[in-house]
Structure 1
């Protein structure tokens, strides 16, 4: 009887310990992750400032916001001109005027209004040299993920004769109700996230969110693995855009596999 009482006390003590220890451990891991994430952003910004081209272009550049605005416009026009000399369909993103354009040889093929966007605070800390490092030349998309197919194909078997045709079931083709979200990683380290949504959206909100939650979970899993070993996670600056669903689908499918991108903050 006494042994059972002692075992019951030990079991209760273990449960109390776990109830206290687990939340404390999770809290400490969360703090560690938050601190190392901040360190990651600062280290990335510091490493950019240490680049030779950034040092050279930053020398003598003042903090005048008017001058910096003209510098951004000059950089934007030069980059678009650079891309216009290629034979590839490109994507220009003008966050100043909230416009996203599909272009070929400088000719605008399609324009879409950016209804909302969010850029990491990292971009607003860049000086002239660092700004030119990210946006002073054409960027190339290296990896794309999407909720829709890039080149949808429908395979249909043609009937042998009119009798077989008459016996077939004929269904009128209609547009699929699918969430249109895609992500593009650029060779300069920037990640573009495009969300297609508007008042005419037919897809369910849940379908699109599953895509983003999956990407966020994979990135969090990767970062936590480094954090637990006291390693600073890799930081990738992000820009998130919202345009109409129809435009998001059309632009994604019109772009080549490795599109050229220019961005104006």
Structure 2
């Protein structure tokens, strides 16, 4: 069976996270080489090993990146000469992130916008600069969300301490348009940016929430992170050569 990422080198930012670590494994399975980057290289390495990845694999390079630091992002791209694409699966946020709407201060809102949307901007900008300097095809996948596309269904949070952060909705919707802006600005078929927008991903949320969420899907409920990977791999591959500025929603009908 054809491996769709054969001879490609992909940078995965946030490779110590739930989605990022899985993508490391999936890219290698599909014949690609991975530069796995995160702010805490030791924790990332431990996470990768915990899901069965040999961190000494010849197809894997571990790197450090502080996605919220412009210099750190610039230096990472200067360090490598053969990157064919990237995934930004990072999720930077402050300590007050996740507060209910009326409890969010302007300072906290602005800080989270700066951390998450600001870092998405600088990472996307550096991908575009990298493409311009190397002049070879490049595919970037940013991670958005169903809540970057539709309004939250607040009723599913009833009876739980959870809420859908206002910052999250603002950031994830902005990322979708940032993608379109940058690919329109670069204006070259070889440079592509797309997003994948997952529905809820299972991470041991309260039962009341899981039950309410499931009733809004076609039966699957919260998705396993594995369900998101296929769309990302497709967008990184040459099978999506002229797909650009698009958003693939993976949510089992939640947003319908």
Q: TM-score range by the shorter chain?
A: under 0.3
User: Normalising by structure 2, what TM-score?
Assistant: 0.27
Greater relative CO, 1 or 2 (CA 8 Å, sep 6+): 1
Find the structure with the greater CA-based Rg: 1
